[in-house]
Amino acid sequence: MLYLFELGHQPHISIAEIESVLKAHQVTFEEKLQTDRFFVLYTEDPLDMESLMDQLGGTKLMGFYIEQRKSIEQTIFEFLLENQTGKIVFSVENAKNRNLGIAIKRKLKDANYSARYIEYKNTATLLHNKLVEKKGAFFILHGEVFVISGIQKLEGFAQRDFDKPGVDAKSGMLPPKLARIMINLARKTPPATVLDPFCGSGVLLMEALDMGYHVVGSDNSARAIEDTHKNIEWIVTAEPKIQKLSSHVFLEDVRNISHSLQPKSIDIIATEPYMGKPLTGKEGELFLKEQRQELKDLYHDAFREFHTILKDDGVIIFIIPRFYYRKEWIIIDCLREILSLGFVQVPFNKDDDTLLYHRVSQHVGREIFQFVKK
Ligand SMILES: C[S@@+](CC[C@H](N)C(=O)[O-])C[C@H]1O[C@@H](n2cnc3c(N)ncnc32)[C@H](O)[C@@H]1O
């Protein structure tokens, strides 16, 4: 079967995430199309699209390919007759397809079916009208029809992002979708144990719990630990499925974290570390270079500790920031030091050794690396 994925705003990262999740579930697949917006793959194994959409952070919607008839109109018409009873309700992604929608509705009426065409505005249109469950939502890519079978649950992300009680705007927060992507990139299915040793307010830990992982979090700021405690308590109360998972959160400098954890006890370290003082874009080169050295030393010390607490088959997904200065990137060149501690860097796929997450307006780019023990 052919499956379609509509990708988020960092498509190369979304694709690496999809590949990681499928590989973690031992699904074999073949890539058919990659663009800035879409990823199409072929697999013989049927995908559980509902649970995939629950898991992925970087995919907006998913669909599956159906048998194509002599025209788009005929394909959708026949599919609706085969899959809906009573009043037929449907929508076609993208408001530009309005004429097509109206033509299909007319065709249904002419054939004596009662039908309602709902003009597409955004994925909320599909959610509110339960069109995915009804198999009444269609997507057209290069003249081929896909049935939309899963939509990203934006409400869950928004709640965890905006409604959580502990927020520290000062230290900057990891976007929850990116946190989820990072956990997925580790290719280890739950219930493994995920550690975030720079946990801040616990964004990554909340996503990990929601995905079914046990979590361990630490930070050297008492305020951050207090926020994380509050946030975890909040999400556990809201989500009974999380209550059976363990969470252990404590105050500790990353440079001493092996004093507080058992050796070889962690499956996944996924973290956005301290990335230096927040930048305005007006900083001078000297300041940035000094900051670079400070972070390089911190990351080096952190990885020495990681080597002790990570299981032998454990995985590290780590963000190394880079700073945009006078139209060039200032990079923290700590790779050689990290590797010399007994790690191997693992590429994400054939195209990407690392994944750069960057929005044009930002002075900091986040480069995601994957490491395993040698
Ligand atoms: C970029 S923030 C992480 C934000 C977090 N990902 C979130 O979304 O809330 C970095 C965190 O690292 C912590 N930190 C800075 N230096 C540290 C150190 N040496 N050891 C442990 N934590 C440290 C800071 O207190 C801060 O909470």
Task: Give per-residue pLDDT as tens, 310-359.
Answer: 999 999 999 999 998 888 899 999 999 999 999 999 999 988 999 999 98
pLDDT digits (tens, 9 = 90+) for 76-135: 999 999 999 999 999 999 888 999 999 999 999 999 999 999 999 988 999 999 999 999
Q: Give yes or no for residue 221 CB within 6 A of ligand 1.
A: yes
- Residue 199 CA: nearest ligand 1 atom is 5
Percent of the chain with pLDDT over 90: 83
pLDDT given at position 170: 64
User: What's the CA-to-centroid distance between 321 and ligand 1, angstroms?
Assistant: 13
Cis peptide before 11 (omega within 30 of 0): no
Q: Is the pLDDT of residue 171 over 70?
A: no
What phi and psi, each to the nearest 5 degrees, are found at residue 21? Answer: -65, -45
Q: Give yes or no for residue 152 CB within 6 A of ligand 1.
A: no
Closest among 304, 214, 305, 219 to 267, alpha carbons compared: 214
Collapsed DSSP state (helix, strand, coil) of residue 39: strand
Helix (H) and strand (E) counts in the chain: 11, 17
DSSP E strand boundaries for the chain: 2-7, 30-34, 38-42, 59-65, 88-92, 115-117, 137-141, 144-151, 193-196, 214-219, 247-251, 266-271, 310-325, 328-331, 343-345, 355-357, 364-373
Q: Give yes or no for residue 203 CB within 6 A of ligand 1.
A: yes
Pick the residue with more confidence: 172 or 74? 74
pLDDT given at position 240: 86
CATH among 3.30.2130, 1.10.3300, 1.20.120, 1.10.10 for 2-151: 3.30.2130
pLDDT given at position 280: 82
Residue extents of the structural domains in the chain: 2-151, 168-373
Q: What CATH topology corresponds to 168-373? A: Rossmann fold (3.40.50)
In CATH terms, are 2-151 and 168-373 the same topology?
no
Q: Give yes or no for residue 201 CB within 6 A of ligand 1.
A: yes
pLDDT given at position 172: 64
User: What's the CA-to-centroid distance between 258 and ligand 1, angstroms?
Assistant: 17
